[in-house]
């Protein structure tokens, strides 16, 4: 397999990440409270309120990518936190109690803001952390919805956004700055637009960019959505991807198939997976996961718009509508097969995948496979078992390709 050149923007990413952590560490000293937030939560409000938003999930992903999730987890397990909890939570709690911090220490919160659209693990983890760090905890509760948006749910969320703003005003002692909020929304919209334009290039055949690249480049869209830096970053990335198209520098050099992937990648095995799929000429092209950050906020009705977008995220939908969303992406990217990851860390996304595989296969008429592992923790990963699932899938792709 030919080694493809790494993205130039990777260097920019390193700088961004470094600066983000430095800012986080020095925030408190300069009187800026650190707010723990969750990936699918209205961080725009936190930025507008002048707080530093910190994503402990991201800490979990970094620990996973550096292959030490199990070490942090063991510390949490020694307290009685079970190894079947979400690994991000186990890493976060483990780090709180650990005496060694091989990936640096988690940044301690002054307050915790959790939105439960994603899962039930985050609110429980944040409750634990709130007690541990003795910091106030605010839950943005999002009842799950089906295909149709529900006023009941949007209004509930909207009312909570207002409660959140009052809560932040109390914490900061400053009135909420709506002008600044408008500016943040503008940057958020721009970053989302650019990010999705980059993602969409994976639909070209062959494609300059795929899911594994997206996993590498998603840090700013998750954590810095709403800042100017994120916009600058994705503009640079987009330019580079376009340049790659011209230079015919493709993600998988001899791309033969496109694959849909659900959901979070196996962080410690990113490289292994990407090489494995590339060796079969298969581009992991798309996932609902990386497409989560596709917001467009109406700046004339900012709070309403926030309430709509965040409650209507795929993570907050019922079973059937999630299938529909997956099918839409599969069609849009014209994929040849799909791989569903039964991630024991992430119950809300794993539960139902066995049935979804059968339903999607019969609806889309393409092969699909489910495999078992944990996104972070290698104790639950068996190369043989995963290959035993994937090899027949590759064969199916081959035999269909020949037809």
Task: Catalog residues that contact ligand SF4 under the rule CB under 6 A.
Answer: 57, 86, 88, 118-119, 121-122, 264, 345-346
Stretch that binds another protein, among 31-39, 74-82, 222-230, 328-336 (CB under 8 A): 74-82
Using CB under 8 A, pick the residue from 94, 123, 226, 368 that binds another protein: 123
> What is the secondary structure of 160-213 as a DSSP string?
HHHHHHHHHHHHHSS---HHHHHHHHHHHHHHHHHHHHHHHGGGSSS-S--HHH
Q: In what order do the strands lie in the sheet with 34-36?
A: 52-54, 34-36, 111-115, 137-140
Euclidean distance between CA atoms 145 and 312, whole angstroms = 7
The 3 state secondary structure assigned to 72-84 is HHHHHHHCCCCCC
- For ligand SF4, which is the closer residue by CB, 215 or 251? 215
Stretch that binds another protein, among 81-89, 216-224, 248-256, 302-310 (CB under 8 A): 81-89
Sign of the torsion formed by the C-alpha atoms of 393, 394, 398 and 401 = positive
- For ligand SF4, which is the closer residue by CB, 347 or 400? 347
| Residue 369's binding partner out of another protein, ligand SF4, none, with CB under 5 to 8 Å set by partner kind | none
- For ligand SF4, which is the closer residue by CB, 41 or 189? 41
Q: How far is the CB of 114 from ligand SF4 (least distance, A)?
A: 10
Using CB under 8 A, pick the residue from 2, 29, 31, 82 that binds another protein: 82
- Consecutive H or E run containing 339: strand 337-343
Asked if 95 and 74 touch (Cβ cutoff 8 Å), the reply is no
351 is a site residue for another protein (CB under 8 A):
yes
- Opening angle at CA 377, ends 375 and 382, nearest 5: 85
319 is a site residue for another protein (CB under 8 A):
yes
Using CB under 8 A, pick the residue from 15, 22, 84, 395 that binds another protein: 84
Using CB under 8 A, pick the residue from 9, 41, 58, 121 that binds another protein: 121
Stretch that binds another protein, among 62-70, 150-158, 219-227, 287-295 (CB under 8 A): 150-158
Using CB under 8 A, pick the residue from 7, 54, 59, 137 that binds another protein: 137
Those residues with Cβ within 8 angstroms of residue 87's Cβ, 6 or more apart along the chain or in another chain: 60, 64, 69, 73, 345, 374, 375, 376, 377
287 is a site residue for another protein (CB under 8 A):
no
Buried b (16+ CB within 10 A) or exposed e, 265-300: bbbbbbeebbebbbebbbbbbbbbbbbbbebebeee
Q: Which region, left, alpha or beta, applies to residue 261 given φ > 0 means left and ψ of -120 to 50 means alpha?
A: beta
79 is a site residue for another protein (CB under 8 A):
yes
Q: How far is the CB of 320 from another protein (least distance, A)?
A: 6
208 is a site residue for another protein (CB under 8 A):
no
- For ligand SF4, which is the closer residue by CB, 251 or 264? 264
Q: How far is the CB of 324 from ligand SF4 (least distance, A)?
A: 20
Those residues with Cβ within 8 angstroms of residue 185's Cβ, 6 or more apart along the chain or in another chain: 44, 226, 297, 299, 302, 305
| Residue 156's binding partner out of another protein, ligand SF4, none, with CB under 5 to 8 Å set by partner kind | another protein
- For another protein, which is the closer residue by CB, 80 or 365? 80
- For ligand SF4, which is the closer residue by CB, 57 or 308? 57
Asked if 337 and 357 touch (Cβ cutoff 8 Å), the reply is no
Using CB under 8 A, pick the residue from 109, 348, 367, 368 that binds another protein: 348
- Paired with 16 in beta bridges are none
Buried b (16+ CB within 10 A) or exposed e, 31-54: ebbbbbbbbbbbbbbbbbbebbbb
| Residue 117's binding partner out of another protein, ligand SF4, none, with CB under 5 to 8 Å set by partner kind | none
- For another protein, which is the closer residue by CB, 81 or 333? 81
Euclidean distance between CA atoms 402 and 390, whole angstroms = 19
Euclidean distance between CA atoms 141 and 157, whole angstroms = 7
Footprint on this chain of another protein (rule: CB under 8 A): 79-82, 84-86, 89, 116, 119-121, 123-125, 127-128, 131, 137, 139, 141, 143-144, 152, 155-156, 159-160, 163, 318-320, 322, 342, 344, 347-348, 350-352, 354-355, 359, 372
């Amino acid at each position: 397999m030919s080694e493809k050149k790494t993205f130039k923007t990777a260097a920019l990413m390193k700088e961004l990440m470094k600066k983000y952590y430095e800012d986080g560490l020095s925030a408190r000293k300069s009187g800026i409270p650190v707010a723990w937030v969750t990936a699918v939560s209205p961080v725009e409000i936190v930025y507008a309120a002048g707080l530093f938003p910190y994503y402990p999930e991201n800490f979990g992903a970094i620990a996973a990518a550096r292959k030490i999730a199990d070490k942090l987890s063991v510390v949490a397990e020694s307290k009685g936190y079970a190894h079947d909890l979400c690994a991000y939570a186990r890493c976060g709690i483990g780090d709180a109690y650990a005496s060694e911090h091989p990936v640096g220490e988690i940044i301690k919160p002054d307050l915790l803001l959790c939105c439960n659209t994603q899962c039930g693990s985050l609110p429980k983890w944040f409750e634990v952390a709130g007690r541990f760090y003795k910091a106030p905890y605010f839950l943005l509760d999002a009842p799950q919805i089906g295909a149709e948006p529900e006023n009941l749910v949007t209004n509930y969320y909207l009312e909570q956004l207002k409660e959140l703003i009052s809560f932040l005003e109390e914490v900061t002692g400053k009135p909420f700055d709506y002008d600044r909020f408008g500016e943040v929304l503008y940057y958020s919209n721009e970053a989302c637009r650019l990010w999705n334009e980059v993602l969409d290039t994976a639909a070209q055949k062959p494609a300059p960019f795929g899911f594994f690249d997206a996993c590498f480049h998603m840090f700013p869209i998750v954590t810095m959505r709403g800042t100017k830096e994120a916009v600058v970053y994705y503009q640079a990335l987009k330019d580079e991807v376009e340049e790659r198209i011209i230079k015919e520098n493709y993600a998988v050099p001899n791309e033969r198939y496109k694959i849909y992937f659900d959901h979070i990648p196996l962080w410690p095995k990113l490289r292994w997976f990407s090489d494995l799929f590339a060796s079969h000429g298969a581009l992991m092209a798309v996932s609902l996961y990386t497409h989560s950050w596709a917001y467009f906020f109406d700046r004339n009705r900012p709070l309403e718009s926030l309430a709509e977008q965040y409650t209507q995220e795929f993570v907050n939908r019922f079973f059937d509508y999630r299938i529909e969303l997956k099918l839409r992406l599969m069609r849009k990217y014209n994929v040849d097969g799909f791989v569903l990851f039964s991630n024991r860390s992430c119950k809300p996304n794993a539960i139902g995948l066995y049935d979804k595989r059968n339903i999607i296969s019969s609806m889309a008429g393409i092969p699909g496979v489910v495999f078992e592992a944990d996104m972070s923790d290698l104790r639950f990963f068996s190369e043989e078992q995963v290959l035993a699932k994937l090899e027949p899938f590759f064969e199916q792709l081959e035999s269909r390709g020949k037809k």
